[in-house]
Structure 1
Amino acid sequence: MSNCVSKKRILVIDDSEAIHTDFRRILCPEPRKSRDDLDELEEALFGSNPAQDHPSSESEFEVDSAFQGQEGVAKVNESLTRGHPYSLIFLDYRMPPGWNGAETLRRLRLVSPSLRVVLCSAYSDYSWGELVQEFGRSQLLTELRKPFNGPQVRQLAISLIGPT
């Protein structure tokens, strides 16, 4: 389950635990509890930073995990039943031994046709053109190539579903 509290729910569907950890670190950063020597040096050189003096204690996003496509579709179903749906899915292309990203997306579209999905991978068994041809070109489907960086992921989430 998630370790951060927010209104905007994101589901990461990926077979790699490290990827889930990366998404949580990027989208739900831990608030800094204390100042260290580097903070004091930075303040001495550049002056006080009001944003650092009062760090936000809440993340903008709540991140949940599924490690296979079948599990992800089940979580989306459950979230809809509970009336607490996800706002965005980050979905890996390859998740052996289960459904790949394209099959998972087909099933997600049956359950929640308007859910925004970001397909993520360093490689794909499908070209982006093939995926667009099958699923249509819309703001509901975006591609993110690995390796990705933190600011890129955070900005993508904010642009697709907005900050809280």
Structure 2
Amino acid sequence: MSDKRRILVIDDSAAIHQDFRRLLCPERGGSPEQLASLRTALFGAPPARARPAGPEFEVESAFQGQEGVARVREAVAAGRPYALVFLDYRMPPGGNGVETLRELWKVHPSQRVVLCSAYSDYSWEEIVEEFGETPLLKELRKPVNGHELRQLALTLTEP
């Protein structure tokens, strides 16, 4: 069983999926053993206290709302629910993010979701009016700030 924090990105743009993977799953510079050997070769004895690696993310993709809802349903049924879903507001020609959120929460009412978009057909106030003030729902504006994205992912996927 993997210790990675599972994230689903629901967005109609393949480039957005690539960006999320690049920001949340940066290439590791080799195994910890390889890095320790290299550090010892370059600098002598390894430091007394190595800096612990942060959590790793497993990022999966869905390109439309209904596909995302199906993936969440499958993950819950398999006993491996997603820790977090990043959900785009607009996904032409399919349903929008708010419609998808309604369906997601029917399938998995405690699913944490971050709504993402540069534009929205709904104001945040309208969304809060419909879904209520809840720690399960956040908003992230595009273009995405990499540091903000990573901090949201870290905070919202904490066990």
Whether TM-score is above 0.5 comes out as yes
CA RMSD of aligned residues (A): 2.6
Q: Is the 8 A contact 1:93 1:124 kept in 2?
A: yes
Structure 2, gaps ≥5 residues long:
31-41
Aligned 8 A contact 1:28 1:59 in 2: no
In structure 1, stretches of 5+ residues that fail to align are 34-42, 44-48
Map 1:55-66 onto structure 2 (within 5 A): 60-66=56-62
Letter in 2 for 1:16: S
Paired position in structure 1 for 2:6:
9
TM superposition shift of 1:32 = 2.2
Work out the CA distance in 2 between the residues paired with 1:23 and 1:108: 20
Deviations 1:114-163 (A, max 9, x none): 10000000010000000010011110000000111211100011111128
**Secondary structure, aligned partner of 1:89:** strand
| Secondary structure, counterpart of 1:9 in structure 2 | strand
**Residue 39 of structure 2 aligns with which residue?**
none
**Aligned 8 A contact 1:120 1:146 in 2:** yes
Q: Report what 1:92 is aligned to.
A: 88
Matched length: 146
> Is 1:106 aligned to residue 102 of structure 2?
yes
- What SS class does the counterpart of residue 77 from structure 1 fall into? helix
Q: Structure 2-normalised TM-score?
A: 0.83
Q: C-alpha deviations, 1:40-62, integer Å up to 9, x for none?
A: xxx9xxxxx96xx9895x96111
CA distance in structure 1 between the aligned counterparts of 2:20 and 2:4, rounded to whole angstroms: 17
Structure 1 equivalent of residue 68 of structure 2: 72
Is 1:20 aligned to residue 20 of structure 2? no
> 2:3, 2:117 → 1: CA distance?
27
Q: Distance in 2 between matches of 1:55 and 1:84?
A: 26
Query: For residue 157 of structure 1, what is the aligned residue in structure 2?
Result: 153
The 3-state SS of whatever aligns with 1:119 is strand
Larger mean CA deviation between 117-126 and 151-160 belongs to 151-160
Please tell me the residue identity of whatever aligns with 1:62. E
| Distance (Å, rounded) in 2 between the aligned partners of 1:54 and 1:132 | 40
Aligned to 1:82: 78
Q: How does 1:119-130 map to 2 (within 5 A)?
A: 119-130=115-126
Output one character per residue of 1:64-117: Cα deviation in whole Å (capped at 9) or x when no partner: 000000000000000011111101000000000111000000000100111000
Tell me the distance in 2 between the aligned counterparts of 1:77 and 1:156. Answer: 23
Task: Name the aligned partner's letter for residue 6 of structure 2.
Answer: R
